[in-house]
Amino acid sequence: MPSPTDPTPDRPGTDPHGHRPDTAGGGHLPADGRVRAPGPFDEHIGERDLASWRSTPGRVLARGATRLGARSPHAVTLLVTAILGGLLCLLLTQVSAEVYESVKEGDALASIDRPTLDLMLRWRSPDLDQWITWFTDLGGPVLAPAIAAVVMAFLAWRWRSWTPVVLMVIAGAGSLAMTIAGKDLVGRLRPPLADAVPPYEYSPSFPSGHTLNAVVIAGTLAYLLLAHEHTRVSRTLAVLAAVVYAVAMGLSRVFLGHHWLSDVVMGWALGLAWLTALITAHRLWLTVKRDKATNVGA
């Protein structure tokens, strides 16, 4: 009689490793129903299996990814999906530029941007200006990449996985490309220098690069932490911290007079779009990785 730890190919409804198909979409559950200890990267967020796809579009993507993965290393799936997602986000950047031009012609932005900046001007004080300047510098082109690199290097060492480094490099590259593309396409002027807090900035205003980067960096970090934290409280705090940071970074740009509110709103939107594409690419990579492991063990 086989021991409880032996493979059980003779058990009905299970594969040679004693797993039964997960009808939610592509994953496998232990036949005994027990939860296994997480590996170097836990492929679950709470009870949600990251390699299981519940929606029809998700299952279509998963089938395409597994077919691609069957003909190439599964790491190629992550790269290809991220590139396709990045191209879609660049297309979204182009669309947002067209929307901006059409809205600008109707003076709709003036009814939102100018009153918001005027409100921020009334709230300013020397001490508050200094504190918010220090905070916004955390999302700048020097400190933000440096902080992200240190944090991801620590997580890679702590978790014995290159996943944090790879995801953050892809995230940063896409965020930079979208920021540059948006600024070149629109070329919008920043608020008048008379309304800004020094040091002044002179690059195009649309979209807010600080805001876009804050969403992507904080969102990627939160996603990684969600897959390693195993209590609802810790996962909630990770998401809450990322949201507060991204929102505060965007509002700080308006407060200091470096961006209009519409620049920040578009930074939030583009950042969320790229973050969604990146997480989808990583989940597809996990799906292909599991599919290959299952086929090898079968």
Q: 17: pLDDT confidence band, cut at 50, 70 and 90? A: very low
How much is the pLDDT for 240?
Answer: 97
Please state, for a pLDDT cut of 90, what percent of the chain lies above it: 38
Q: 209: pLDDT confidence band, cut at 50, 70 and 90? A: very high
How much is the pLDDT for 286?
Answer: 85
How much is the pLDDT for 81?
Answer: 67
Query: Does residue 114 carry a pLDDT above 80?
Result: yes
Q: HEC profile for the chain?
A: CCCCCCCCCCCCCCCCCCEEECCCCCCEEECCCCCCCCCCCCCEECCEECCCCCCHHHHHHHHHHHHHHHCCCHHHHHHHHHHHHHHHHHHHHHHHHHHHHHHHHCCCCHHHHHHHHHHHHHHCCHHHHHHHHHHHHCCCCCHHHHHHHHHHHHHHHHHCCCHHHHHHHHHHHHHHHHHHHHHHHHCCCCCCHHHCCCCCCCCCCCCCHHHHHHHHHHHHHHHHHHCCCCCHHHHHHHHHHHHHHHHHHHHHHHHCCCCCHHHHHHHHHHHHHHHHHHHHHHHHHHHHHHHHHHHHHC
pLDDT tens for each residue of 28-52: 333 333 333 444 456 888 888 888 8
Query: Does residue 288 carry a pLDDT above 50?
Result: yes
pTM reported for the whole predicted model: 0.79
pLDDT tens for each residue of 215-252: 999 999 999 999 888 888 999 999 999 999 999 999 99
How much is the pLDDT for 147?
Answer: 93
pLDDT tens for each residue of 133-164: 999 999 998 899 999 999 999 999 988 888 88
